[in-house]
Amino acid sequence: MSHSQTPLGGWLVRNRVWALLLLAALWPLADMVLPERLHVLEPMRTVFTFAILALGLNVVTGFTGLLNLGVAAFMAIGAYTFGIATCEIYPFQVGFWGGLLLTLPIGAAVGMILGAPLLRLRGDYLAIVTLGFGEIVQDVLKNLDVISKGTQGINPLPAPSFLGAEGSWRWGALEASDEIGWYYLLLCLLTMAVWACRNLERSRIGRAWVSLREDELAARSMGIRVERAKLVAFAVGAALAAAAGGLFAAAISSTGEPSNYDFQVSILALCIVIVGGTGSVAGVVLGSLVMVGANSILLTKISEWITESGWGASGGVLTSPNNWKFLIFGLVLVLMVRFRPQGIMPPVLEGDPSPPPEGGRKP
């Protein structure tokens, strides 16, 4: 009997995303006993932020089957929405939580505006249009410096506050140096995003998305309102991406320059979805740890270790693992497509805890 056929194994497969989040919640305990050079709480902020971004892309590309190469544009819209709504140089100053909540309807509205004229586009044509949208947003933010401050970015941005009091992060403002506070805040927000995506996947609209992904013509013939389902997918995906942008800006207390939200961000989010498992919520969470963690944690720690050991100069092109990251990412994608095209954690069908066969989804 395989592990997935036992009661415990079946439960773990069906609830694997919660198991991953539970391990993440317990990790700071291990971080306390590890040497300082192995601490990873600070770079995990980026992992959690990109996990939320990839969850938004997974709704559009994984659930619905629409290839979106412009998710970085919605991340930028969320970051600048948060910046304009909270920065002291603007009259709004709604605070961290008000700005974060505002990113959701703004992102959803922009997603619906973009999705409306694209309802009849599929495949490569949709990918090209969304790619162009991402470039347009980036150029607009660069040139609309009266509002966006151009390449300077909007700063400073407020930190999260709790109960409106001053003092420690538990009762006042969360300082940028408080690694544990930021870690658990982003983990809680990621958990909420995972809960929302899992419930959407099992809802009526989620079933409609999956039917569109498998066969749009058959879905339409069965009475599914294809245009409405696509619009909702664009809106939900854009809202999650915008929220990730707001969290990214809050974590660094600045929106950064518009080039921070370029095509590479969209490709990284797509790689997370593909490597983790297209259409799998648990796969997206694990994929973000593999792809973003490899860059922000693993390669950085290896570079520091090589420098401390004196094996290579810190500025050496060949001796710095950071200069090999795109080669490593490309190699990982090639190996995944060749040997495990369904991803590390492929989606599990309702009521069936066993994984799909090698090479793709179950029939």
Determine which helix (DSSP H) or strand (DSSP E) holds 73, and give its type and residue range.
helix 71-86
Query: Helices 281-293 and 325-339 sit at what angle, rounded to 10 degrees?
Result: 150
Rounded Cα distance, 268 and 260, in Å: 13
338 compared with 312, residue with greater pLDDT: 338
| Model confidence at 202: pLDDT above 80 | yes
Check residue 1 and give its pLDDT.
Answer: 46
Check residue 350 and give its pLDDT.
Answer: 52
291, 191 in Cβ contact below 8 A? no
For 240-272, give one letter per residue: b (16+ CB within 10 A) or e.
bbbbbbbbbbbbbbbbbbbebbbeebbebbbbb
321 compared with 184, residue with greater pLDDT: 184
DSSP 324: G
Helix (H, G, I), strand (E, B) or coil at 92: coil
Mean residue pLDDT of the chain comes to 86
Q: Is residue 362 part of a domain?
A: no
Q: Is residue 204 part of a domain?
A: yes
Tallying the residues shown for the chain, one arrives at: 363
Q: Is residue 193 part of a domain?
A: yes
Q: What's the pLDDT band for 7 if we cut at 50, 70, 90?
A: low
Rounded Cα distance, 70 and 63, in Å: 17
122-167 tens-digit pLDDT: 888 999 999 999 999 999 999 998 999 998 999 999 988 875 444 3
Question: Hey, what are 310's tokens?
Answer: 């004196």
Check residue 167 and give its pLDDT.
Answer: 37
269-328 tens-digit pLDDT: 999 999 999 999 999 999 999 999 888 888 887 777 777 776 655 556 666 666 777 788
Rounded Cα distance, 68 and 230, in Å: 12
Q: Is residue 360 part of a domain?
A: no
Check residue 336 and give its pLDDT.
Answer: 86
Determine which helix (DSSP H) or strand (DSSP E) holds 325, and give its type and residue range.
helix 325-339
| Model confidence at 345: pLDDT above 80 | yes
Mean pLDDT is highest, among 92-101, 155-164, 346-355, for 92-101
Question: Residue 7 is part of a domain; what is its CATH number?
Answer: 1.10.3470
Check residue 2 and give its pLDDT.
Answer: 47
User: What is the average per-residue pLDDT within 16-39?
Assistant: 87
Check residue 163 and give its pLDDT.
Answer: 59
Q: Is residue 351 part of a domain?
A: no
Rounded Cα distance, 26 and 23, in Å: 5
Q: Is residue 353 part of a domain?
A: no
| Model confidence at 85: pLDDT above 70 | yes
**Residues facing 173 on adjacent strands:** 161
User: What is the average per-residue pLDDT within 4-8?
Assistant: 57
Check residue 162 and give its pLDDT.
Answer: 74
Residue numbers of the domain that contains 195: 3-339
| Model confidence at 113: pLDDT above 70 | yes
314 compared with 334, residue with greater pLDDT: 334
Q: What percent of the chain has pLDDT over 90?
A: 62
Phi, psi of 161 (to 5 degrees): -125, 150
Q: Is residue 170 part of a domain?
A: yes
Check residue 154 and give its pLDDT.
Answer: 95
Number of helices followed by number of strands (H, E) in the chain: 15, 0
Determine which helix (DSSP H) or strand (DSSP E) holds 145, and give its type and residue range.
helix 145-148
**How many distinct structural domains can be found in the chain?**
1
Check residue 91 and give its pLDDT.
Answer: 92
Cα 29 from chain centre: 25
Q: Is residue 348 part of a domain?
A: no
For 150-174, give one letter per residue: b (16+ CB within 10 A) or e.
eeebbbebbbbbbeeeeeebeebbb
Q: What is the pTM of this model?
A: 0.90
Least confident among 21-25, 82-86, 231-235, 323-327: 323-327
